[in-house]
Amino acid sequence: MARTVSTRGLVLRCIDYSETSQIVSFFTRDEGIVDLLAKGSRRPRNASSSFSSPFDLAGWYDLVYRKRGGDLHLATEGQLVEGFSHLRRDLECWLDANLALEVLAKSFIRGDPHPEMLRGVLSYLKLLSVGKGRQLLRNRFLAEILTSSGVSPRWHLCQGCMRQEGVDLVALRVPVGPICSGCRVATDSLRDPSTFAYLASNGAIPWDRVPAWEVAEEVIADGWDQLRALLLDHLERPPRSLRYLRA
């Protein structure tokens, strides 16, 4: 007998399957990424009580679905909890949100929940409405992706000699992380040492304080370059989850 699952999920991708249905990828609280066939979700609301409206990108929904054989399960209910309407009023916010959804979809294997990452992305989408600190928020999001994927370096120590005390971190080695002057080789790209201190503190700042965090613009920009380099290297390989790494 098919198992019924009740959870909440964030829409990562939507595909119109027919005139009345959709195939939707969700990042769910309890099951990680799942793909659902939502029959009738595109009908007018008064034609079906199962879905409050057609599923939309970046929507946060209460879900009920039945598990079936294979990777495509059957959605039976979907009620919108939060639509993050502010994202659709600002093109740059919408592009930032879509970048986050695409990175999430490519970073994790199906059926592997990451509740901390889910809370992080919901905070990120909400705080895009603040209107400032968007690059800081983007850096925080990338850092959480790397951490949840199990590939984030320890930003406070050299990844060559693994020493923290008495070393100056001066370079980034992809995909390893920070490198001190004594371990650096010609292929390691030089970086602003103050950026490593910023990245080491990045995950400790509460999400709601990130937009107002006072960090030099050049350090924020260098932090973005370092995080992006590590993330791009990660995305070129099959997704690795914490559960996979611990197996």
Taken in order of first residue, the domains within the chain and their CATH numbers are: 4-83 (2.40.50.140), 88-246 (1.20.1440.120)
CA distance 26 to 59: 9
Sequence-distant (6+) residues with CB within 8 A of 146 are 152, 227, 230, 231, 234
The span from the CA of 164 to the CA of 159, in Å, is: 9
User: Quick one: average pLDDT of 149-167?
Assistant: 88
Q: Say what the pLDDT of residue 243 is.
A: 42
Q: What are 154's two structure tokens?
A: 């320890």
Q: Is the separation of the CB atoms in 149 and 107 below 8 Å? A: yes
- Averaged pLDDT, 148-175: 89
* pLDDT tens readout for residues 48-70: 568 888 999 999 999 999 998 88
Phi/psi region, residue 32 (left: phi>0; alpha: psi -120 to 50; beta: rest), is left
Is the pLDDT at 242 greater than 60? The verdict is no
pLDDT tier at 167, thresholds 50, 70, 90: confident
In three-state secondary structure terms, 81 is strand
Question: Is 0.85 surpassed by the pTM of this model?
Answer: yes
